[in-house]
């Protein structure tokens, strides 16, 4: 299928969650917090953490393989792999390593960084390659290991984040187009609200020639500002995506938001007048897994039978940058 304007089907999903678990009670032994404090403010009860010998490439490949299998394909059928992550194993990128681990020898692979919006941005990017006829079978992965970059003495951030990976397969199709509408935004004026910033130390190479060498600071966040941003911008971007899709919020079967905070999820659903029984959330078990949170929640809901073939899903990612976006899609057509 090479014609401009190819249609898109999302035909498979998968996820990989590390087996190590740290509970709210465990965290109360590390920092001044409690299960009640964390639950009432975030909705999080547990989070899964990657072990020292677990790489981002490993869990990304595992999630992708599950999605490829569900789609009825093999890794050699894949044309393109897009890895949405802010925590690659290699600063030059990890997508090519994932391609190798999968054995997807016919695929080109690249990383995309948009923090917690990454999966939504990557899914929209994949759709453009399919619609222009360049690629026909694309794996989109959202994965992060934020435990690597956490200050485990900062109770404002260490209680929030977990590790994991999720993936979907997008294919060109002659049938109904399942990507119904989308919208994306950035606002660099608010970049200071959520950071994993460079940490440099001056090094003199010779007289009057200095460079900076270093690593990164732990994650810092202004939770109040991120909350204010999310409860306003996320409903707006979903509403715009619905307009582009030509459907109303009443036609949505499921709402899957980035799993940042249960209060944000509740506020957005209320603003859109979407009942709680249509909202998918796994914060209690997984916490905030950044770019992985939406595809992990999607995979769980597909595999347990909640999401069925043809269901319409509204999804939004939002976070560091600040970035935010929404996509409206139909599952499995």
265 Cα distance to chain centroid = 15
Q: What phi and psi, each to the nearest 5 degrees, are found at residue 143?
A: -150, 140
What are the Cα distances from residue 67, in Å, to 33, 63, 298? 38, 6, 11
Cross-strand pairs, 167: 14, 141
Pull the structure tokens for residue 37. Answer: 């404090």
Q: Is 288 a catalytic residue?
A: yes
Per annotation, catalytic residue among 13, 24, 48, 116: 116
Pull the structure tokens for residue 172. Answer: 């060109």
List the alpha helices (DSSP H) in 246-292.
262-272, 283-286
Cβ-based neighbour number of residue 211 at 10 Å: 10
Per annotation, catalytic residue among 24, 261, 282, 288: 288
Q: Is 210 a catalytic residue?
A: no
Query: Which of 144, 149, 178 has the alpha carbon at shortest distance from 63?
Result: 144
Per annotation, catalytic residue among 258, 261, 282, 286: 258
Pull the structure tokens for residue 235. Answer: 């409903």
Place of tokens 């910033």: 197
Q: What phi and psi, each to the nearest 5 degrees, are found at residue 266?
A: -65, -45
Question: Where in the sequence numbering do the catalytic residues fall?
Answer: 116, 258, 288
């Amino acid at each position: 299928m090479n014609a401009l304007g190819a249609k898109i089907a999302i035909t498979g999903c998968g996820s990989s969650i590390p087996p190590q678990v740290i509970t709210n009670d465990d965290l109360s032994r590390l920092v001044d917090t409690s299960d009640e404090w964390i639950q009432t403010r975030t909705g999080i009860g547990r989070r899964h953490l990657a072990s020292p010998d677990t790489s981002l490439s490993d869990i990304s490949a595992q999630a992708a393989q599950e999605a490829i299998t569900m789609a009825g394909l093999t890794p050699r059928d894949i044309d393109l792999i897009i890895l949405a992550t802010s925590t690659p194993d290699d600063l030059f990128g990890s997508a090519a390593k994932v391609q190798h681990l999968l054995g997807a020898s016919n695929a080109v692979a690249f990383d995309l960084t948009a923090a917690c919006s990454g999966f939504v941005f990557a899914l929209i990017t994949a759709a453009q390659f399919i619609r222009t006829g360049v690629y026909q079978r694309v794996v989109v992965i959202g994965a992060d290991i934020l435990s690597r970059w956490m200050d485990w003495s900062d109770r404002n951030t260490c209680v929030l984040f977990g590790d994991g990976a999720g993936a979907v397969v997008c294919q060109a199709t002659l049938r109904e187009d399942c990507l119904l509408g989308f919208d994306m935004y950035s606002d660099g004026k608010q970049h200071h609200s959520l950071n994993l910033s460079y940490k440099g130390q001056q090094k003199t190479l010779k007289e009057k020639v200095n460079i900076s060498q270093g690593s990164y600071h732990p994650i810092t966040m202004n939770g109040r500002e991120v909350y204010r941003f999310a409860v306003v911008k996320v409903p707006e971007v979903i509403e715009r995506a619905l307009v582009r899709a030509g459907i109303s919020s009443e036609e949505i079967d499921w709402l899957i938001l980035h799993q940042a905070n249960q209060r944000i999820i509740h506020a957005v659903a209320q603003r859109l007048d979407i009942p709680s029984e249509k909202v998918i959330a796994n914060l209690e078990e997984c916490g905030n897994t950044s770019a992985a949170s939406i595809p992990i929640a999607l995979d769980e809901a597909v595999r347990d039978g909640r999401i069925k073939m043809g269901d319409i899903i509204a999804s939004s990612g939002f976070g560091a940058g600040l970035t935010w976006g929404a996509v409206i899609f139909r599952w499995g057509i």
